[in-house]
Amino acid sequence: MDKFIDVVLYLFFKEPDFKEIFISKKGFCLYHLKKLLEGSLKYLSGARRSEFILTLMSMEIIHLERIKEEVNWFTLKFDYKNKNEPWKNSQDAVPRSIEKICGPCDLVR
């Protein structure tokens, strides 16, 4: 895993296309987020570490907030007042939130 983290951090700063793709993703599960943060302490220093952590945590917070809103809407859909409202993107929000917390797992959808 250390080698993968090293490669991600290297490409983040050396390949603009990689950085753009990295930022466009929906964040990481908490396990891999921790690994990336630990890797940034091991392989980066100073301004580079700050830039990476700010980028990583900004995208992670945005997507954790998105998942929180989707799970919230999922629960509100069971209120009779919202019966005819659209599901939006919340129909599978619970298993996706579990995967965000636990990482890839064998959930039956």
* Beta carbons of 28 and 36 less than 8 angstroms apart: yes
Indicate the pTM of the whole model.
Answer: 0.81
Domain regions of the chain by residue span: 2-102
pLDDT of residue 44: 92
Each of the 109 residues of the chain gets a pLDDT tens digit; together they read 888 999 999 999 999 999 999 999 998 989 999 999 999 999 998 999 999 999 999 999 999 999 999 999 999 999 999 989 999 988 888 888 988 888 776 655 5
For residue 20, what are its two tokens?
């753009």
Determine the Cα–Cα distance for residues 77 and 83; give it in Å rounded to an integer.
6
